[in-house]
Structure 1
Amino acid sequence: MSERLQPGDVAPDFELPDADGRPVSLASLRGKRVILYFYPAAMTPGCTKESVDFQSSLPELEAAGVAVVGVSPDAPAKLAKFRAKEGLTFPLLSDPDAKVLQAYGAYGEKKLYGKVVVGVIRSTFLIDADGKIEKAYYNVKATGHVERLRRDLST
């Protein structure tokens, strides 16, 4: 498992395809704060709940100058279906080889139904306008996570 990022670390830059296959880079979002969240799989109950919660909070987050970007190992075509089904309007990025997931420490061993497996560790990062980690949340729960993040943003 890769090392976990801490507040003050430089956020690893990346370029990944979005749901339409267009490349999106972290550098292209410089100048605004970014919530970058990693989730295991589109169209699963927990990931749907988390993504819909981000969508519901999007007007408030955007008003505060914060962009939201989701990343999973899913192919762009699956992300496009997920986006359409759930009405998501923020970028969903595809990281099938998990290179970006690993760079953020969001891929490795985890417990799933009592078994140790290797996969995506549900994680969220708040990245400042200069590209540094403001907050790093690992092993978050899909339910209630966005509300906690919104509270932390207002402090």
Structure 2
Amino acid sequence: MNPFPLPYFRSLVAAMLLWAVPALAKPPVAAPLAKGPVRLQARQAARDFTTVDVDGRPVSLASLKGRKVLLMFMRNVGCPVCNRRVHELLEQADYFRAHNLAVVAVYESSPALMKQYLAGQAVPFTMVPNPDQSLYQLYGLEVSGAKAMASVFHGVIGKASQGKKLFQQAIEPDGNRNRIGAEFLLDERGTVAVAHYHRYIGDELPLADIKKFLN
């Protein structure tokens, strides 16, 4: 007996093509780690940067010393998987505030598109547009078509479906579809406690790990 019914097999192939076809049609420009900064590891100092948030206010990691920090490198504001993650974290906003956690979310998106995404939403996080991807390079993130395709086998279709329903309005993705994200937990001295480089799209740091870090 065939363990994979034909409708299931067709759905799996369709899901794989959803990621593979655009990648083949327009190959991404890779960002090899060997030619840029290497990945950070636990117990290393976080790489400081100075930039501005979506409203033009200065942002630097150095200014956050004395607080624990969740530094997130998202994809773009049109990414439904990222939108789902933001809403998941928003449900913990009071808990984060009570434990003095600063949340900094970096996106590939332009300031204009980020403002469109945030319109009508109360997001108590520091939202940083980084369309030139300089901060992604600083932290050794990558662009990988193979890892993006592998996401199909790790629940990305379901997460994308959930995230799509949470958008306040339709947002056109403006980043690299094969961008792979990362999340870092920094202690009060600016030292990396946890460095979580995603293995596929939607490979988020578990909330339980964040709460354990805060307690």
Q: Verify the 8 A CA contact 2:105 2:126 in the aligned structure 1.
A: yes
Match of 2:93 among 55, 58, 72: 58
SS in 2 for 1:113: helix
Q: Which residue of 1 aligns with 2:162?
A: none
**Bigger strand share:** 1
Q: Verify the 8 A CA contact 2:109 2:130 in the aligned structure 1.
A: yes
**Runs of 4+ more than 6 Å apart:** none
**Bigger helix share:** 2
1:73-84 to 2 correspondence within 5 Å?
A: 73-84=108-119
Deviation at 1:65, TM superposition (A): 1.7
User: What RMSD, in angstroms, separates the aligned Cα atoms of the two structures?
Assistant: 2.5
Q: CA separation in 1, counterparts of 2:77 and 2:113?
A: 7
Higher mean C-alpha deviation, range 98-107 or range 70-79: 98-107
1:112-147 C-alpha deviation (Å, 9 max, x unpaired): 235xx8853211000111111010111165376452
Q: Verify the 8 A CA contact 2:99 2:214 in the aligned structure 1.
A: no
Match of 1:113 among 149, 166, 187: 149
Q: CA separation in 2, counterparts of 1:32 and 1:109?
A: 33
Q: Partner amino acid for 1:120? A: R
Structure 1 spans left out of the alignment, 5+ residues: none
TM score, norm. by length of structure 1: 0.85
TM score, norm. by length of structure 2: 0.63
Q: Which residue of 1 aligns with 2:106?
A: 71
Is 1:18 aligned with 2:77?
Answer: no
Bigger Rg, structure 1 or 2: 2
Does the C-alpha gap of structure 1 residues 118 and 55 become closer, same or farther in structure 2, counting only changes over 3 Å?
closer
Q: Which residue of 2 aligns with 1:135?
A: 194
Higher mean C-alpha deviation, range 101-110 or range 129-138: 101-110
Count of residues in correspondence between the two structures:
154
Q: Verify the 8 A CA contact 1:58 1:68 in the aligned structure 2.
A: no
Q: CA separation in 2, counterparts of 1:129 and 1:62?
A: 15
Deviation at 1:49, TM superposition (A): 0.6
Q: CA separation in 2, counterparts of 1:143 and 1:112?
A: 11
Q: Which residue of 1 aligns with 2:132?
A: 97
Q: Partner amino acid for 2:213? A: L
Does the C-alpha gap of structure 1 residues 94 and 144 become closer, same or farther in structure 2, counting only changes over 3 Å?
closer
